Chain A
């Protein structure tokens, strides 16, 4: 089940996209999504798709792998599509079925929203697939750094994210172990109705919480023992540096935005 989710997974590699500065990648991803939301006609989406396709090819990740990442979200996408069909008010009816009238505007809106969602997921997947979690939080921290002037805990937030990501595999392993231990005592996690199943989770969740708190405690102590002080004047092991690659990336996204806007003016 967990293997289906490509969003948030890292795909190690050494492509130009992988080597770009995480800060730049974050900003460019946001700009790309903004671009996708500006678009309001089908040729525009074709351009957005073409751009994404080129980026993915450069990154060396299979496009089908990326598309697979949209699959778990298909229900949300279908849901928004139907919602838009029904609730958008339009003036040009295509056909009427009883009290329901399908209008051209509603259909357009529904299609655009579904496409935007798909591009949103795929765009952010490119970011997470090509950027390791550590790099990502590093980049986030640097981007949020100016906010520390208004006492926004950028470093602490980034550190919490790093720690949370680091412990996901540990937690999965632990869950597996405790589940087996309770099964050895005759626990049944697979059968019964919803309430019975929820109740069956207690022998699993309590030990997980207990060990998580204990681990958090130990980690905090281990960090303090190594004189960890968050925030100010920490130097870093890997300095982030913008390179030529980042310039090219920025230029490419800028070109994409210009084309999108120009295309919107021409056709829209």
Chain B
């Protein structure tokens, strides 16, 4: 399954005094099984773009097809699309409403019209995937949980729809470093184990560098860059020009290079830099 976006435009409050163009001629294809990192500063159009992916917003002009289904077509069954493309909003814990954790996670599958047995299976699977203990937590009230747990319940609520594509809008926003690591870990596991397509919106270059196989940079509603992380992060000057930054690992590698150390070009993961540093230290000394 792939998502094909062609010449997508979206205008907020068209005709009104506050008309703004949120998306400007965006064309891209998200392939099956990809892990895409979508980055851009506030107001770059990334949140608008992801809401198009499951038909919550319909394009002003242009075309999106999910699995061959045209989203702009009024007759397309939106729910069929929403079970294929799951969207986890920013601060998803704000959408929790049920009495218990299990019931809240079951909300999505129930809306799909599944039977009790299947719903129960999905709730258990989803909880396991986000590392929540079913026996301990399933009957607890969602409002008794910690912030990180609430977020995981909310993600489980979307996972229980068993979408082939999972879109996450700033999944780590507002979490402490430990919570952030846990969420990133489970997203990564999900991608590796079930082969799901992942689109992760993020501010953090480091998060994207750690996980994504492809990076799309948005700026003023347009796709500014689209490519492998190695390639995108090598364009540090351009990234800085649009108010973004490079991952810390890239910056470290660059600083080391400036000091005359032999650090290879194009590395962007912290492990790669570590290996490079170890190689230098192992060789026992400075170059140049």
| A-B CB contacts (within 8 Å), total count | 58
User: Interface residues of B, CB < 8 Å — how many?
Assistant: 23
CA distance A210 to B104 in the complex (A): 15
CA distance A207 to B107 in the complex (A): 14
Q: How far is the CB of B268 from chain A (nearest CB, A)?
A: 32
Q: Point out the residues of chain B lying under 8 angstroms from A181, CB to CB.
A: 87, 89, 92, 94-95
Q: Point out the residues of chain B lying under 8 angstroms from A203, CB to CB.
A: 95, 97, 107
Digit string of B140-182 for contact with A (CB within 8 Å is 1, else 0)?
0001000000000000011001000000000000000000000
- Contact of A185 with B157 at beta-carbon distance under 8 Å, contacts A177-B89, A203-B107, A210-B143 already known: yes
Q: Point out the residues of chain B lying under 8 angstroms from A177, CB to CB.
A: 89, 94
Q: Point out the residues of chain A lying under 8 angstroms from B56, CB to CB.
A: 180, 183-184
Instruction: Check B96–A207 contact: CB distance below 8 A.
Output: yes
CA distance A128 to B239 in the complex (A): 48
Instruction: Check A186–B92 contact: CB distance below 8 A.
Output: no
B86 within 8 A of A: yes
A183 in complex: contacting residue of B82, B83, B157, CB < 8 Å: B82
Digit string of A170-187 for contact with B (CB within 8 Å is 1, else 0)?
000010011011111111
Nearest B residue to A203, CB-CB: B97
A206 within 8 A of B: yes
Q: Point out the residues of chain A lying under 8 angstroms from B95, CB to CB.
A: 178, 181-182, 185, 203, 207
A202 within 8 A of B: yes
* Chain A contacts with B in 205-235, Cβ cutoff 8 A: 206-207, 210-211
A4 within 8 A of B: no
Digit string of B76-109 for contact with A (CB within 8 Å is 1, else 0)?
0011001100110100101111000000000110
B75 within 8 A of A: no
Nearest B residue to A183, CB-CB: B56
- Contact of A185 with B97 at beta-carbon distance under 8 Å, contacts A180-B51, A180-B89, A203-B107 already known: no
B11 within 8 A of A: no
B54 within 8 A of A: yes
Further 16 A-B residue pairs, CB within 8 A, beyond A184-B82, A186-B112: A174-B94, A177-B94, A178-B95, A180-B51, A181-B89, A181-B94, A182-B107, A183-B56, A184-B56, A184-B89, A185-B82, A186-B107, A186-B108, A188-B79, A188-B111, A207-B95
Instruction: Check B82–A186 contact: CB distance below 8 A.
Output: yes
Q: Point out the residues of chain B lying under 8 angstroms from A206, CB to CB.
A: 97
6 A-B pairs with C-beta separation under 8 A: A181-B92, A184-B54, A185-B158, A186-B79, A187-B111, A207-B96
Instruction: Check B107–A185 contact: CB distance below 8 A.
Output: yes
Nearest B residue to A181, CB-CB: B95
Instruction: Check A186–B94 contact: CB distance below 8 A.
Output: no
Q: How far is the CB of B104 from chain A (nearest CB, A)?
A: 9
CA distance A210 to B157 in the complex (A): 18
Q: How far is the CB of B56 from chain A (nearest CB, A)?
A: 5
* Chain A contacts with B in 146-191, Cβ cutoff 8 A: 174, 177-178, 180-188
